Amino acid sequence: MKFSRRDLLVWGAGAAAGLAVTPVPWKLLDDTAKWSQNWGWIPQPARGPVEVKQSACTLCPNGCGVRVRMAGGWPVGVAGVATHPVTHGALCPLAFGAHQLNWHPERLKVVRHRGAVASWEDARSVFAKACGSGRVVVIDGYPGRAASQVLSNFAEKHGEYRVVRGAETRALAPFEEWTGVPAAALGYDLENARTVVSFGAPLLDGWGAPGRFTRLWAEKAAGQDDPQLRVIQIEPSLSRTATNAYQWISIRPGTESALASGIARVLLEEKLVTARGPMPELTLEYAASQTELKTDAIRELARTIAAQGPVVAIARDENPAVAALNVVLGAIGNRGGIVRRSSSATSQLIADASIGAARVVVLDSSVPWNFEPATDAEVFRFAAWNGGPTKSDWLLPAPGFLEELTDVPSAPTSGVETYGIAPALTKALHKTQSCAEFLASFDSSLDSAEKIVHGRCTELFRARRGTIQSHDAVAVAKIESEQKAEEQLTSGAVWIGEPASGGSIRCALKQWPAADASSPLELSGSWPAAVMPALATKLYQESGLRESGRNA
């Protein structure tokens, strides 16, 4: 039998039609799709048992409670802790990508000396030599921790300890002079305030602990015509806080002090407040000409402010006139105002660009990357991430996110005293050392940060005051042993002190402060880490929602 070309075509068509009614081609398509998704270069998530651990975020001084999902020993997700007494389950947007930070391309992996790769031994020998021949200045950006205690103890013996304060603490600095209470012991009783006057403070955009003010605003003000909590935002441009405020007052940039003086003058002249304070020397007309507002508008603003008390005024940074406005408003030491949260905090020497003669300057990893001391001394900077060009001689890799045990004192703006512990949840990816470990290794008489944390837990237990908040709040007096208290704190519980007692503050402001305060340092905002999580950078870039950080 002859097999013609026609037969071949018929056979081929028949075979194709026959195959099409079998599951073979569809199965092949399905398998090809699955196979192509498992190519070797497609990254696969970590395998291993999944568990959830509770800790605190240590990337900024607010110490928000975090719930960390771990798989195979690695953090794979971060969420807030709903029972946290300050943050109430909220986190800043960057914290949701913080678990990826340890693998950030800008992670510092090795010691660098003026850009060249060096070793820990090199750094140690240079430090030991320099340390023996002159004064050492140790600078801390997150005071109050056990690690800060190590830094301070070392500096006491070998030189000087200084702190770099964030804008939120600097805003409270004028009260330090007028009341004698350290700024680190003061906070805002926002929960009881009914009007908050913000002079440029980004209250709804990263100011303080993220869950605190935004939650209060959402519950008491958002979308309401006559809100329980009035937020009055005084700011030149329309910010996130301004657009959501009860009232937005746009003024000429840099005239916040003049407006605060003008408001205080109206409050005192029209007897709108019961508190007494010094009368500003500036006239209302001068305030109006400076701010480009009308005098009537300032009068109306002062009446609106006084209409619903308690009132507190919050400055973006150090501003004595805004601080003095609080004195006129009677906000010092009163409910809904500025309160003393702690009796143990002490005043500290402030680090500014000029630090005097020194042989060595040591910068802790908590110091913002853009803080550069003007000095001829050998500068040792500890950092987990490289934030770009720096004048520091030595860059020393510090532990990254959740790689070391640290304690978490009260957030800078908190009205109550809190204490928590952030345990090391993940192993270190590189050969790192914290500043406290490094300094303690040169002086065997210094206690380690871990030992100080243990001592603080013992102190809290013996004082028998406050409560420990985990799923439930338990009074410290009812906890059986100090081991139990420490165990709870190490598993993510938070100690909360007694409610703020304002009566202990006496304010001695006799004269309205001079308009020009010393210009504060221009430091980065509420995110002090040198880089942002890569995911946040990507999403911000692609959405145009915010400016994104460098190198992330």
Partner 1 sequence: MSARYGMVIDLDRCTGCGSCMVACGAENNVPALPQATARTGLTPMLVRRVSNGLDGNLRREAFIPILCMQCEHETPCVHVCPQQAVEVDKATGIVMQMPQRCLGCRYCMTACPYHARYFNWWDPAWPAGMEKSLNPGVASRMRGVVEKCNLCHGRLHGAQEKAAAAGKREVDLADYVPACVEACPTGAIRFGNLADQNDPVAQEIHSRNTFRLLEKIGTEPKIYYKSNQAWVRKMAEPIGESGSPVRATENSQRISEVQHV
Q: Taking CB under 8 A as the criterion, which residues in 233-252 touch partner 1?
A: 238, 240-241, 243-244, 248, 250
- Interface positions, 249-288, toward partner 1 (CB under 8 A): 250
| Bond prior to 45 in cis (omega within 30° of 0) | no
CA–CA gap between residue 277 and residue 338 (Å, rounded): 16
Tell me how far the alpha carbon of residue 62 is from its chain's centroid: 5
Report yes or no: 106 and 529 within 8 Å, Cβ to Cβ. no
Stretch that binds partner 1, among 17-25, 186-194, 388-396, 530-538 (CB under 8 A): 530-538
Amino acid identity, position 4: S
108 makes contact with partner 1 (CB under 8 A)? no
Minimum distance between the CB of residue 548 and partner 1, rounded to whole angstroms? 11
Minimum distance between the CB of residue 430 and partner 1, rounded to whole angstroms? 11
Binding mask 3-32 for partner 1 (x = CB under 8 A): ---------------------------x--
534 makes contact with partner 1 (CB under 8 A)? yes
225 makes contact with partner 1 (CB under 8 A)? yes
542 makes contact with partner 1 (CB under 8 A)? yes
Minimum distance between the CB of residue 382 and partner 1, rounded to whole angstroms? 22
Q: Which is nearer to partner 1, 304 or 458 (CB)?
A: 304
45 makes contact with partner 1 (CB under 8 A)? yes
CA–CA gap between residue 396 and residue 385 (Å, rounded): 10
Stretch that binds partner 1, among 170-178, 201-209, 364-372, 514-522 (CB under 8 A): 201-209
- Please give the C-alpha separations between residue 283 and each of 168, 260, 348, 519, in angstroms, as whole numbers: 29, 11, 36, 24
Q: Which residue has the tokens 């911000």?
A: 540
Which long-range contacts does 514-517 make (Cβ < 8 Å, 24+ apart)? Answer: 514/320, 515/257, 515/258, 515/261, 515/282, 515/321, 516/257, 517/257, 517/318, 517/319, 517/320
Q: Which is nearer to partner 1, 182 or 227 (CB)?
A: 227
How many residues does the structure list for the chain? Answer: 552
Binding mask 144-183 for partner 1 (x = CB under 8 A): ----------------------------------------
Picking from 352, 355, 416, the residue whose alpha carbon sits closest to that of residue 165 is: 352
Stretch that binds partner 1, among 41-49, 255-263, 389-397, 439-447 (CB under 8 A): 41-49
CA–CA gap between residue 240 and residue 244 (Å, rounded): 7
60 makes contact with partner 1 (CB under 8 A)? no
Report yes or no: 73 and 426 within 8 Å, Cβ to Cβ. yes
215 makes contact with partner 1 (CB under 8 A)? yes
Minimum distance between the CB of residue 229 and partner 1, rounded to whole angstroms? 13
124-145: burial string, b at 16+ Cβ within 10 Å, e else: bebbeebbeeebbbbbbbbbbb
Minimum distance between the CB of residue 158 and partner 1, rounded to whole angstroms? 38
Q: Considering only residues 72, 253, 356, 455, which one is a binding residue for partner 1 as defined by CB under 8 A?
A: 72
Q: Which is nearer to partner 1, 92 or 367 (CB)?
A: 92
- Interface positions, 483-522, toward partner 1 (CB under 8 A): none
Q: Considering only residues 56, 66, 78, 190, which one is a binding residue for partner 1 as defined by CB under 8 A?
A: 78
Record the tokens describing residue 354, joined without a space.
């000029």
CA–CA gap between residue 397 and residue 432 (Å, rounded): 5
205 makes contact with partner 1 (CB under 8 A)? yes
Task: Give the dihedral sign, CA 367/369/372/378.
Answer: positive
CA–CA gap between residue 184 and residue 166 (Å, rounded): 11
Q: Which is nearer to partner 1, 382 or 540 (CB)?
A: 540
- Interface positions, 441-470, toward partner 1 (CB under 8 A): none
Q: Which is nearer to partner 1, 90 or 172 (CB)?
A: 90
Minimum distance between the CB of residue 539 and partner 1, rounded to whole angstroms? 5
Stretch that binds partner 1, among 173-181, 185-193, 514-522, 533-541 (CB under 8 A): 533-541
- Please give the C-alpha separations between residue 518 and each of 253, 315, 506, in angstroms, as whole numbers: 17, 15, 24
CA–CA gap between residue 126 and residue 139 (Å, rounded): 19
Q: Which is nearer to partner 1, 159 or 400 (CB)?
A: 400
Provide the Cα torsion 188, 337, 332, 504; round to 10°: -70
Report yes or no: 145 and 301 within 8 Å, Cβ to Cβ. no
CA–CA gap between residue 176 and residue 348 (Å, rounded): 11
Picking from 343, 259, 342, the residue whose alpha carbon sits closest to that of residue 301 is: 259
CA–CA gap between residue 193 and residue 200 (Å, rounded): 18
Helix (H) / strand (E) containing 117: strand 116-118
Q: Which is nearer to partner 1, 241 or 334 (CB)?
A: 241
Q: Considering only residues 57, 94, 324, 384, which one is a binding residue for partner 1 as defined by CB under 8 A?
A: 94
133 makes contact with partner 1 (CB under 8 A)? no
40 makes contact with partner 1 (CB under 8 A)? no
Stretch that binds partner 1, among 103-111, 125-133, 267-275, 494-502 (CB under 8 A): 103-111
Q: Considering only residues 55, 58, 179, 214, which one is a binding residue for partner 1 as defined by CB under 8 A?
A: 214
Question: What value, to the nearest 5°, has the Cα angle with vertex 366 and ends 146 and 66?
Answer: 75
547 makes contact with partner 1 (CB under 8 A)? no
CA–CA gap between residue 392 and residue 399 (Å, rounded): 19
Q: Which is nearer to partner 1, 279 or 539 (CB)?
A: 539
428 makes contact with partner 1 (CB under 8 A)? no
Report yes or no: 528 and 141 within 8 Å, Cβ to Cβ. yes
Q: Considering only residues 4, 22, 37, 481, which one is a binding residue for partner 1 as defined by CB under 8 A?
A: 37
Q: Considering only residues 22, 36, 354, 518, which one is a binding residue for partner 1 as defined by CB under 8 A?
A: 36
Minimum distance between the CB of residue 240 and partner 1, rounded to whole angstroms? 5
75 makes contact with partner 1 (CB under 8 A)? yes
Q: Which is nearer to partner 1, 365 or 526 (CB)?
A: 526
